[in-house]
Amino acid sequence: MRKIAWIFCLLSSLHVSAQRKNYSIQMADAAVSTWIDSTSILSGKTDPSKMGILLFAMEAVWNATGNGQYFNYINKSVDQLVQSDGSIKKLQPGDASMAAQMLMVYEVTKKDRYRKAAELVVRQSLPGKGDAGLPTQTALRLAQSIIFNVAYSQLFQSDSSFSALSASVISLTGRTLVYEELPLPGFAFLSSIDKIPGDPLRKQELVHLFQAYAKKTRALQDTSSGKWPSGGKTDAAGEYATTALIAYTFAKGVRMGYLEEDYLASASKAYAFILKQFRGAKGAKDRGAADKSGGTETIRESFMGDPSRVGSFILAATEMEMLETATAGKGKKVVLDYYYNNEWQKDVTGKDVRWHYTWEDRSNSGYHMLGHVFMSNGAKISRLETSAADLAKQKASLYIIVDPDTEKETAKPHFIEQADITHIKKWVGDGGVLLLLGNDKGNAEFTHLNELAASFGIHFNEDKQNTVIDDMFEQGVVMSPAGSAVFGTQAKKLFIKEFSSLALQSPAEAVLTKGDIKVMALSKYGNGWVVALGDPWIYNEYIDGRKLTTDFQNYPATVEWVKWMLSLSKKTSLR
């Protein structure tokens, strides 16, 4: 009964105007409604390997919306397998189904039981370890094993594993695959390639293999309909799912720079084909799909009864929907400073790792979700681990300096020196956009930061505004005005706590205030711009939807803010 109700809900929702809600969100919400049973995996009703594809899709929707309910759904699903001591129920040794999500939940929450579970999977599934090495897995489980093991090896700096993992990617690409496995090599590649360090030639070999795979796969597309026909090897619903995941692979491959732009035409035609089927007559029958009673079920029911098929559609939808927002940052590169903000700590293995306002950090203190906002708007993200003397070489459009270190935070802090200021001023004057994010009193180095800011008429007052006690979030409210060029036409309720206010001189002007307090400033300098705010503000804790109450609008405000800053820059990575 629940399945029928869910299908009715989904069919209804997909006929609603996309202006109200993206198709990716509609399908994700419907999936949450149907696979809500906390025992569905343990009871055997849901295959964990198929659920893994749906959870990859839920993560994509979470990144695209900042809505914490999608992370909570992933967390709840993982909790069906991971016990309080880190042991794992249901999965056989060597099975890495949903292991990538176990690791992701650990990265976000830092709860050690998820790390222990991930470590257990690694010991059993990494090539050359345990009795169930990667090559013996089904293609679906092998793809998830590769994605998980690459992510684990990167997180815990296990560089010795990457050679074997690269070989596994090659092995998957060279396999003889059944029809519905056709998208899996591309899916595994795109989820792993940017996390594999080491020999550039080895990485380039993988890129060439992916490009050859994409070329071969594109040749199989029916150019008339846009689908990848199965030749009777699966039902129509299987064709929809396979077509969706290939469309996702092509669109993401283009966005990441591994495929030529013309692959978007194939992806767009495939996606249009799928949408047409869902908008079609509700009574359409799939004559090849029989239910247990021997009758036939609708195409949609066959599609929607399988979480991996639903996940494939959601992944395609999230990627295709990015095309609508990718123009703002196309050809632009955002560089985050890792030199003046250079904090390290020991991870659970005792190794030194960067933290605090970095792209890689998925916990509360990181900028991981901010990075996704930039990328969803078409920009590339990068980091600069040396001083601003090297800024001109980066071909950056936007340069972010956040929370410069004090002696309390770093043993040997790198201060912003006069020579650095000279380099930064020239770069801004040539058309770059500089974003300065300070902090409240005692939590950032102000002397040298203010020497830089003074060049643009800005001064961080080294005070503390909007003090918030515990979770009394209303104490941290700052309202953006309606009709704001920075945050969009509608007024937004922002949470910005314990920030340093600003003092401004021409040419700087306030673009966000709270009463008489200047919160954010904009300054024109030569052909470029400087944006300043006295707080790191948009780190994961306050835009990923897990902490703030739903009346706060930090995530949509961040999306508008990012678009605005990208529009200011005249510099692109192409020149």
Task: Provide mean pLDDT across the span 509-535.
Answer: 97
Instruction: Report the Cα–Cα distance between both ends of the chain, in Å, rounded.
Output: 59
CA nearest neighbour of 338 among 398, 295, 402: 402
DSSP state of 105: H
The predicted-structure confidence for 336-379, as pLDDT tens digits, reads as follows 999 999 999 999 989 899 999 999 999 999 999 999 999 999 99
Q: Which of residues 7 and 540 earns the better pLDDT score? A: 540
DSSP line for 209-250: HHHHHHHHHHTTS-TTT-S---TTSS-HHHHHHHHHHHHHHH
Q: Is residue 573 part of a domain?
A: no
CA nearest neighbour of 198 among 166, 156, 151, 152: 166
- Inter-CA distances, 30 with 5, 6, 491, Å: 10, 6, 30
Where among 322, 350, 375 does a domain terminate?
A: 322
Highest mean pLDDT among 126-140, 149-163, 480-494: 480-494
Written as one letter, the residue type at 11 is: L
DSSP state of 484: B
Where among 288, 322, 356 does a domain terminate?
A: 322
Residues 157 and 94 in one domain: yes
Task: Provide mean pLDDT across the span 504-528.
Answer: 97
| pLDDT score at 160 | 63
Of the given ranges (57-61, 87-91, 165-169, 223-227), which has the lowest mean pLDDT?
A: 165-169
Is the bond preceding 307 in cis, omega lying within 30 degrees of 0? no
Where among 263, 289, 322 does a domain terminate?
A: 322
Q: State the DSSP H helix or E strand holding residue 562, giving kind and residue range, or none if neither.
A: helix 554-568
Q: Is residue 327 part of a domain?
A: no
| pLDDT score at 203 | 81
Q: Is the pTM of this model over 0.75?
A: yes
How would residue 206 be classed by pLDDT, with cut points 50, 70 and 90?
A: confident
Q: Is residue 448 part of a domain?
A: yes
Sign of the Cα torsion 479, 482, 483, 488 reads positive
| pLDDT score at 537 | 96
Please give the structure tokens belonging to residue 83: 């016990």
542 Cβ neighbours under 8 A, 6+ residues apart: 495, 548, 554
Residues 239 and 357 in one domain: no
Up-side HSE of residue 202: CA atoms within 13 Å toward CB? 15
Residues 495 and 471 in one domain: yes
Q: Is residue 388 part of a domain?
A: yes
Residues 499, 485 contacting (CB under 8 angstroms): no
Q: What percent of the chain has pLDDT over 90?
A: 70
| Alpha-carbon radius of gyration of the chain | 25
Q: Is residue 559 part of a domain?
A: yes
| pLDDT score at 205 | 85
Residues 85 and 64 in one domain: yes
Distance from chain centroid for Cα 21: 19
Domain ranges, residue 438:
333-568
Total structural domains within the chain:
2
The predicted-structure confidence for 74-83, as pLDDT tens digits, reads as follows 999 999 999 9
Helix/strand/coil for 172: helix
**Per-residue pLDDT at 298 exceeds 70:** no
Please give the structure tokens belonging to residue 500: 């340093």
Instruction: Write the CATH number for 538.
Output: 3.40.50.880
Task: Provide mean pLDDT across the span 453-467.
Answer: 97
Is the bond preceding 481 in cis, omega lying within 30 degrees of 0? no
Longest CA–CA separation in the chain, Å: 79
Q: Is residue 574 part of a domain?
A: no
- Inter-CA distances, 67 with 10, 29, 114, Å: 20, 11, 22
Q: State the DSSP H helix or E strand holding residue 84, giving kind and residue range, or none if neither.
A: none
Residues 230 and 129 in one domain: yes
How would residue 6 be classed by pLDDT, with cut points 50, 70 and 90?
A: very low
The predicted-structure confidence for 180-203, as pLDDT tens digits, reads as follows 999 999 999 999 888 877 667 778
Please give the structure tokens belonging to residue 17: 């105007």
Please give the structure tokens belonging to residue 48: 């964990």
CA nearest neighbour of 33 among 75, 78, 82, 69: 69
**Per-residue pLDDT at 300 exceeds 80:** no
Mean pLDDT of the chain: 88
Please give the structure tokens belonging to residue 266: 């194939």
Alpha-carbon gap, residue 570 to 235, rounded angstroms? 50
Of the given ranges (83-87, 145-149, 220-224), which has the lowest mean pLDDT?
A: 145-149
Q: State the DSSP H helix or E strand holding residue 190, giving kind and residue range, or none if neither.
A: helix 184-192
Residues 119 and 145 in one domain: yes
**Per-residue pLDDT at 448 exceeds 80:** yes
CA nearest neighbour of 130 among 138, 140, 139, 119: 119
Q: Which residue has the tokens 């969100």?
A: 25
**Per-residue pLDDT at 279 exceeds 90:** no
